[in-house]
A and B are shown apart, each in its own frame.
Chain A
Amino acid sequence: MQRTLVKLFRFLPLPFAYGCMVPVIPFYMLFDRRGYQASYRFFRHRIGRGPIHSFLSVYANEFRMGQIVVDRFAFYAGRSFKMEGNEMPVFNRLAEAEPGFVQLGSHTGNFELVGYQLRSIKKMGVLVFSGETETVMQQRAAVFSRSNIEMVPVSDDLSHLFRLNEILRDGGIVSMPGDRLFGSQKRFNCPFFGDPAPFPAGPFMLAAQRSAPIVAVFVMKEGARRYHVYVRQLGAELDPDLPSRKRAEAMAQAFAACLESVVRQYPTQWFNFYDFWK
């Protein structure tokens, strides 16, 4: 099915694919109650919209999610997207320096497209979840093989930690989500939309222990074939003599603040369809 989709998107106009989703979204809203409720509460209580506006926002949220998935398959099929934004020098400066750094993504916008767009001579280790389907993994591998990117799957034997540490130590880039707990349940509770929310300790600890710079990257959809890329360095002003846990926590808080400001700008591109604050 997914393989067919990749082939289809070589020819299918994107607006047509988006149009096909219009009648399908209400079924998602009806049958995925948990996702619907999480999304509705987000717009109602975190963004502060009225009941009808929140209901319509859930539709827009699901529609955006569908567009992101379509765009991902279109990208696998070889289609290109225009990337805008004037923060690329932040990434380029770090990519040209000798030490490695950590690049954080999130479940907002279309982070997956950025790994292919931010070119660097540095090796990049991308942490991926083994729960993805075989087709997605194969398509990713095909795209990655054309660049200096290595997929590092999360593994029960913790081999991903050894590999990520090695890549960072050798001056590479480590790319992972900054808004999802995986493996370890260690977390930093950071202020986020008015209440403390759990952010994974791992990515921030990895950067802090190795005294590596850390950047947050957001790739937000603005048009059918257009994205805006935001690159923010976190905690550059922190005292390097602070204990690594303190530095990691401060970076996690900086990430949460950054994520909140981007999500406030693009609320319908918030794709954590569960109670994020629990």
Chain B
Amino acid sequence: MKELIEEIKTQIISALNLEEMTPADIDDNAPLFGDEGLGLDSIDVLELIVLMEKNYGIKLSSPAEGKAVFQSVAVMADYVSKNRKK
């Protein structure tokens, strides 16, 4: 799981162009959206939807699903490990 968390962090940094950050700067349990944590917004949601689909074959189709999955990197990793298709 630790490896998957690191992998997802690296992918987020690359997809969202967070050049000034390293995986160590992202707290596993910090919220991805809102003022705390990474402070991502709606365009970033789009990036994460595509990231999940391209890298893990997971197709998210509803905001409720997205909200549940994109809570934090740890939650994302847990979801990926249970639902990945590639």
**B41 near A162: Cβ-Cβ < 8 Å:** no
Tell yes or no: B24 within 8 A of A by CB.
no
B17 close to A (CB within 8 Å): yes
Chain B, interface size: which category? 10 to 19
Q: Assess the A243–B17 pair: CB atoms within 8 A.
A: yes
Contact between chains at B41 and A209 (CB < 8 Å): no
- Is there a chain A Cβ closer than 8 Å to B5's Cβ? no
Interface size class of A (residues with CB under 8 A): 20 to 34
CB distance from A241 to the nearest CB of B (A): 14
Output the least CB separation between B41 and chain A (Å): 5
Q: Are A165 and B46 in contact (CB under 8 A)?
A: yes
Q: Does B1 contact A (CB under 8 A)?
A: no
Q: Mark A135-160, 1 if CB is under 8 A from B, else 0.
A: 00000000000000000000101110
Chain B residues numbered 26-81 whose CB sits less than 8 Å from any CB in chain A: 41-47, 49-50, 53, 59-63, 66-67
Q: How far is the CA of A202 from the CA of B45 in the complex (A)?
A: 11
Contacts of A210 in B (CB 8 A): 50
Q: Is the CB of B50 within 8 A of A209?
A: yes
Whether B45 lies near A158 (C-beta < 8 A) is yes
Tell me the smallest distance from the CB of B10 to a CB of chain A, in Å. 14
Min C-beta distance of B2 to chain A, whole Å: 27
Nearest B residue (CB) for A204: B43
Tell me if A45 counts as interface (CB < 8 A to partner B): no
Cβ A162 vs Cβ B66 within 8 A: yes
Contacts of B43 in A (CB 8 A): 183-184, 186, 201-202, 205
Chain B proximity of A169: nearest CB distance (Å): 7
Q: Which of A158, A169, A244 is in CB contact (< 8 Å) with B42?
A: A158
> Separation in Å of the A100 CB from the closest CB of chain B?
13
Q: A205-B46, A206-B46, A209-B47 are in contact. List 18 more A-B contacts (CB 8 A).
A: A158-B42, A158-B45, A161-B46, A162-B61, A162-B63, A165-B46, A165-B49, A166-B61, A169-B53, A183-B41, A183-B42, A183-B43, A184-B42, A186-B43, A202-B42, A205-B47, A209-B46, A244-B15
Can you list 9 A-B contacts (CB < 8 A)?
A155-B63, A158-B63, A159-B63, A161-B46, A165-B46, A165-B50, A183-B41, A184-B44, A245-B17
**The 8 residue pairs across chains A and B that have the minimum distance between CB atoms:** A184-B43, A157-B63, A184-B42, A209-B50, A183-B42, A186-B43, A159-B63, A184-B41
